[in-house]
Structures are given as structure tokens and as C-alpha cells.
């Protein structure tokens, strides 16, 4: 960049460089444009970067540095003591598990003094970046047990990689930018060209829900390409398990819990489908979509902005807190629920009350009320049957159309069809999504396959456990904040499930 500026100003290279050196010295003397703290420009994809660093003057203590200044939230890992050290790896779900609930479970079992749990979950991380920090954690942190809960972010991570490829088209450009970070001149140019944004809301722009995924990146993704991404996911899981076993470290490999009632993202037609067939499929889908009853509309958002995200449950936090609202929502406020038995009937989801919600939340819950009633009027039933006939015609042309399968599953549920048919449609809809932003049947089948190939691995089928606790064995919106994030109450229960599993395998002898 600086060489290009010199050229554009018409300066000779030697004279230009001399001027830049003088400018750098001047800016340094006057303390102008202080260089930014070193930032990992690969955003976690660089195997050679150090994501754990020793803490000065504290022998044996490490801290994380995953991103720029670790966003002010480094994880500090104290020296290893006599407890079994458990490291947790994954994306935002794992990060959201925190330590409070698993430590509570260990305390209830009188085992907190025997286990040290460290959460290394990182929002937005898929299996590739998880595997990179995993290797360094094995090398530096001496774990006894690792917990791997990853699988929701494979295409979040793929989209991020595409962004980096645009920003740094070659490794040399990234290395040049990294070297320039320490210069006052570079920072002055950066400040002039990219002024710091004036934020009116709390900073969480690095959260996955705030990234610009721009699904045009995946609009031409074919299903074989989707499967290639999942093959890489499987290879990453295999590598982490094998690395752990080589060091004698215990492994808990988890399936991921996902929302079957969250609409798929992409239904890209197969390459072999001709133009006429594609047009027919698009026309059938558009007609079916336009005929949907208004009461079910929130389940089928037309735009990404219409999707319910985990942040929507606390969109009005400031206003609600200012009004003195500090309580969990009651079950009456959380309408749209199906009937639960067993442990979920007695568990509080610990969700914010309506004063906190984005209006999208209430709209979705109202739609779920209609769906769960399974009582369409005669006219609605006739419309639903017509839509289903359109979907059947579509699926005869393109059997793996993810959104058509989802629509059929929802309408079958609404009209009281066999639950097995509903379940098959909603599971297929997720499995055929070309760029899923959640786990799917495919994700969890890979986890199970890896676990079966390694008999010493402790397989935690979290998703099956939660399906078995749900009506029709379909996890839905009751315990999910969006397509993949669990509510606080669900996280608490899951951490008790996980702690029980760990103690059954590794509880110290009394």
C-alpha cells in the first residue's frame, strides 16, 4: 500500500521511502496514530499463529489470544494442579455453556474439588479453527479430558473464509499488512480511510448473528460440494480425536442439538436439472409460498432479516431494564409450546420476558400456537391440501429440495399427518440444506461414525437425548433461541447431563 502511494505521488522510491521514514519518526515522537495492538489477520485460520501465550511473571499460567486483543475477554488458564483438567471446545454454543452450570453440577456431586473445567468455546468457530486451537491446547495446557461440541458453524466458517480470500487474495498481501500493523504511518492511513464506527449499542459485531453472511456466496453450491465440506468436518474431528488419543487424553465427542422447525437456507438445484425443470420448480415453490396461510408466515421468512436470532430474545434489553423488568418469562408468556413430560416438564427455560423481545419473537410464538393446535378450518385445510399437491409435483422433479421438504413437513404437522412423516420431512429438509447454519442429521451421523471408530471415546449423543424428551422426537422452538442456540435453562440441564456422563467415566475412586 505504501509503495503504491509513493508511486501515485510521483516520488522516486528512495526519496519516497526516506519521506516515509521521516513521517514515521515524527508521528512516533508526537505520539500520533499509535499502532494498533497486533491483530491476527487470519482470524484464527493460521496454524503458525500462537493462540495461547504465557502470562508474564506467572509461571505455568496461559491466556488465550484468539482474535484482536481477544476482544477484551481472554481466557486465563492457571497452572495445572491435582484436579482432572477438562477443556471444552466448539463454537458459540460451547462458549455459551460457560462454567456456572457444569460447576454447579460437579458441586452437587461433591466433585468440584476433583475437576477443573476450562471453556475454550469461540463464537463463529467451525471445526477447522477449533482444531487449530485444539492442537495448541493439547500442547500447552495438559488436559486430562477434552469435550468437543462442534458442528453448527461449518458454513459460517466457510463464508468467513470467502471473506478473507477477498480481503487477502494472497498470503503475501496478508503478511505485508501484518508487518505494517506496527507502523504509525499505517495506522494514520487506516484511521483516515477507515474511521472507527460510532456505536450506539453494545459492541458484539463479531458474534455470528451480526456477520454479513451474504448468502450469495453459496447460491451456486451443489449438494456434492456441501458433502465435501462435511468430509472436511469429519477429517477435523478424526484429527482431534487421534491427537488426543496419542497423548492419552480422554475424549467426550458430542452430537449437536438443532432446531428442526427452523427453515433451511438453500435449496440449490442439481447441476443436471435442465433450465425448463428449474423454472418449473421455482414457479411451483413461488405459488406454494404465496398460498401459505398468514398465520404460518413467521415460520417461512422470505428474507434473512425475518429469521429469528438468539439476540432477538433480548433486543429491547435496555428499555426493559430501564422499566425495572428483571425476571424470567412465565410459561403463560411463552406460548406456542407443545406438551412436555418428564424432566422438561419441570425445567424452567430461563428466557427473558416479553418486554425484552423483538416483535419477531411474539409473531413466531403466535404462529406456533396455530401450528400446534392442528386445527385448520375447512378452507385452510383445502388450501393446505392444494399446497401439498404443488409440493409433491415439485419434489417429483427435485426430490432433495430442502425448503419444499420443510414446507411439506410443517403442513403435514398442521393437518395432523403421521408424526413419522413429519419427522422424516423435517430431518430431510435439514440434511439437504446446501449451506446449513446448524447441525443436521448429516452432522450428527458423522460424529457418531467417528465415535464408533474410536471405542475409547465417550460418545455423548446430546441431540438424541433431547429428541427423546420432545414430542414426535423433534427438537423445536421451546428450548431453542434460534436455529441452533439453546436457551439458558436448556444449557443448564445439558451441563448437568454432561457432568453426569463425565463422572460416570472418570469420577475418582473414593
What CATH code is carried by the domain that includes residue 93? Answer: 3.40.50.1110
399 and 412 together in one domain: yes
Within a domain: residue 68? no
Distance of alpha carbon 498 from the chain centroid: 20
**DSSP codes of every residue in 359-382:** HHHHHHHHHHHHHHHT---HHHHH
134 and 161 together in one domain: yes
The residue with cell 424428551 is 469
392 and 498 together in one domain: no
290 and 359 together in one domain: yes
Within a domain: residue 366? yes
Domain closes at, from 435, 467, 484? 435
Residue by residue, pLDDT tens for the chain (510 residues) are 444 544 454 545 555 555 555 655 565 565 555 555 444 555 567 778 888 999 998 999 999 987 544 455 788 999 999 999 999 999 999 999 999 999 999 999 999 999 999 999 998 899 999 999 999 999 999 999 999 999 999 988 876 666 655 554 544 544 444 444 455 554 554 454 444 433 333 323 334 343 444 557 788 899 999 999 999 999 999 999 999 999 999 999 999 999 999 999 988 999 899 999 999 999 999 999 999 999 999 999 988 888 999 999 998 888 887 888 888 999 889 999 999 999 999 899 999 999 999 999 999 999 999 999 999 999 999 999 999 999 999 999 999 999 999 999 999 999 999 999 999 999 999 999 999 999 999 999 999 999 999 999 999 999 999 999 999 999 999 999 999 999 999 999 999 999 999 999 998 755
Q: At what angle do helices 223-246 and 154-167 cross, to 10 degrees?
A: 100
Burial class (CB in 10 A: 0-12, 13-18, 19+), 15: exposed
What is the rounded CA–CA span in Å between residue 326 and residue 356? Answer: 10
428 and 447 together in one domain: no
Within a domain: residue 476? yes
Domain closes at, from 377, 409, 435? 435
What is the rounded CA–CA span in Å between residue 375 and residue 353? Answer: 28
pLDDT of residue 326: 81
| CA torsion, ordered 112, 116, 119, 120, to nearest 10 deg | -170
Q: Distances from the Cα of 145 to the Cαs of 115, 242, 252, 342, 458, in angstroms?
A: 10, 13, 7, 30, 10
pLDDT of residue 215: 59
421 and 441 together in one domain: no
- Contact between 458 and 233 under an 8 Å Cβ cutoff? The reply is no
161 and 140 together in one domain: yes
The set of cell numbers assigned to 245 is 488419543
What is the rounded CA–CA span in Å between residue 395 and residue 405? Answer: 8
The set of cell numbers assigned to 185 is 504511518
Within a domain: residue 138? yes
- Contact between 487 and 347 under an 8 Å Cβ cutoff? The reply is no
pTM for the predicted model, two decimal places: 0.84
What is the rounded CA–CA span in Å between residue 283 and residue 176? Answer: 50
Greatest alpha-carbon pair distance for the chain in Å reads: 84
- Contact between 260 and 352 under an 8 Å Cβ cutoff? The reply is no
DSSP state of 338: P
258 and 374 together in one domain: no
Give a three-class secondary structure readout of 246-279.
HCCCEEEEECCCCCCCCCCCCCCCCCCCCHHHHH
115 and 253 together in one domain: yes
Domain closes at, from 383, 415, 435? 435
Q: Which domain holds residue 498?
A: 84-173+205-263+436-510
**DSSP codes of every residue in 423-487:** HHHHHHHHHT-SS-SS--HHHHHHHHHHHHH-TTSEEE-HHHHHHHTSGGG---GGGBSSSSPBP
Distance of alpha carbon 125 from the chain centroid: 7
The set of cell numbers assigned to 74 is 481472554
Within a domain: residue 77? no
Within a domain: residue 402? yes
H or E stretch covering 117: strand 115-119
Residue from 347, 115, 100, 128 nearest 252 by CA: 115
Within a domain: residue 48? no
385 and 480 together in one domain: no
Within a domain: residue 283? yes
Long-range pairs of 314-317 with CB within 8 A, sequence gap ≥ 24: 314/352, 314/356, 314/357, 315/356, 315/357, 315/358, 316/355, 316/356, 316/357, 316/358, 317/352, 317/356
Number of domains in the chain: 2
222 and 110 together in one domain: yes
361 and 402 together in one domain: yes
The set of cell numbers assigned to 277 is 425443470
Amino acid at each position: 500500500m505504501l509503495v503504491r502511494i509513493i508511486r501515485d505521488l510521483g516520488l522516486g522510491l528512495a526519496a519516497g521511502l526516506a519521506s516515509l521514514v521521516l513521517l514515521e519518526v515524527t508521528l512516533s515522537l508526537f505520539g500520533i496514530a499509535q499502532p494498533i495492538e497486533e491483530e491476527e489477520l487470519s482470524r484464527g485460520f493460521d496454524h503458525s499463529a500462537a493462540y495461547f501465550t504465557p502470562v508474564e511473571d506467572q509461571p505455568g499460567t496461559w491466556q488465550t489470544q484468539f482474535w484482536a486483543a481477544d476482544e477484551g475477554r481472554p481466557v486465563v488458564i492457571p497452572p495445572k494442579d491435582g484436579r482432572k483438567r477438562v477443556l471444552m471446545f466448539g463454537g458459540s454454543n460451547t462458549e455459551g455453556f460457560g462454567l456456572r452450570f457444569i460447576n454447579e453440577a460437579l458441586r452437587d456431586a461433591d466433585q468440584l474439588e476433583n475437576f477443573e473445567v476450562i471453556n475454550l468455546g469461540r463464537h463463529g468457530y467451525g471445526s477447522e479453527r477449533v482444531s487449530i486451537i485444539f492442537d495448541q491446547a493439547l500442547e500447552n495446557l495438559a488436559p486430562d479430558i477434552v469435550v468437543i461440541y462442534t458442528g453448527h458453524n461449518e458454513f459460517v466458517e466457510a463464508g468467513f473464509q470467502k471473506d478473507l480470500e477477498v480481503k487477502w487474495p494472497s498470503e503475501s498481501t496478508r503478511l505485508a499488512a501484518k508487518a505494517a500493523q506496527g507502523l504509525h504511518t499505517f495506522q494514520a492511513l487506516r484511521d483516515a480511510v477507515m474511521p472507527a464506527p460510532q456505536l450506539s449499542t453494545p459492541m458484539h459485531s463479531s458474534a455470528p448473528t451480526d456477520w454479513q453472511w451474504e448468502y450469495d456466496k453459496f447460491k451456486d453450491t451443489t449438494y456434492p460440494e456441501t458433502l465435501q465440506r462435511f468430509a472436511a468436518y469429519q477429517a477435523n474431528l478424526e484429527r482431534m480425536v487421534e491427537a488426543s488419543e496419542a497423548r492419552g487424553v480422554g475424549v467426550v465427542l458430542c452430537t449437536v442439538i438443532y432446531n428442526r422447525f427452523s427453515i433451511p437456507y438453500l435449496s440449490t438445484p442439481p447441476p443436471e436439472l435442465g433450465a425448463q425443470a428449474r423454472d418449473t420448480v421455482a414457479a411451483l415453490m413461488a405459488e406454494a409460498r404465496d398460498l401459505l396461510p398468514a398465520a404460518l408466515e413467521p415460520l417461512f421468512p422470505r428474507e434473512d432479516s425475518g429469521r429469528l436470532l438468539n439476540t432477538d430474545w433480548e433486543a429491547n434489553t435496555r428499555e426493559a431494564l430501564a422499566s425495572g423488568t428483571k425476571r424470567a418469562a412465565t410459561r403463560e408468556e411463552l406460548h406456542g409450546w407443545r406438551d412436555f413430560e418428564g424432566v422438561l416438564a419441570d425445567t424452567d427455560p430461563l428466557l427473558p420476558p416479553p418486554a425484552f423481545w423483538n416483535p419477531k419473537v411474539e409473531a413466531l410464538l403466535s404462529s406456533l400456537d396455530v401450528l400446534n393446535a392442528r386445527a385448520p378450518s375447512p378452507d385452510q385445510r383445502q388450501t393446505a391440501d392444494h399446497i401439498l399437491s404443488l409440493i409433491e409435483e415439485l419434489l417429483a422433479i427435485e426430490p432433495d429440495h430442502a425448503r419444499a421438504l420443510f414446507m411439506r413437513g410443517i403442513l403435514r404437522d398442521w393437518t395432523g399427518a403421521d408424526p413419522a412423516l413429519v419427522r422424516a420431512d423435517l430431518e430431510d429438509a435439514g440434511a439437504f440444506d446446501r449451506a446449513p447454519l446448524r447441525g443436521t442429521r448429516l452432522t450428527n451421523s458423522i460424529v457418531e461414525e467417528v465415535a464408533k471408530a474410536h471405542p475409547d471415546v465417550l460418545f455423548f449423543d446430546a441431540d438424541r437425548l433431547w429428541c427423546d424428551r420432545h414430542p414426535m422426537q423433534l427438537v423445536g422452538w421451546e428450548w431453542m433461541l434460534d436455529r441452533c442456540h439453546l436457551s439458558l435453562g436448556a444449557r443448564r440441564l445439558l451441563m448437568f447431563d454432561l457432568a453426569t456422563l463425565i463422572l460416570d467415566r472418570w469420577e475418582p475412586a473414593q
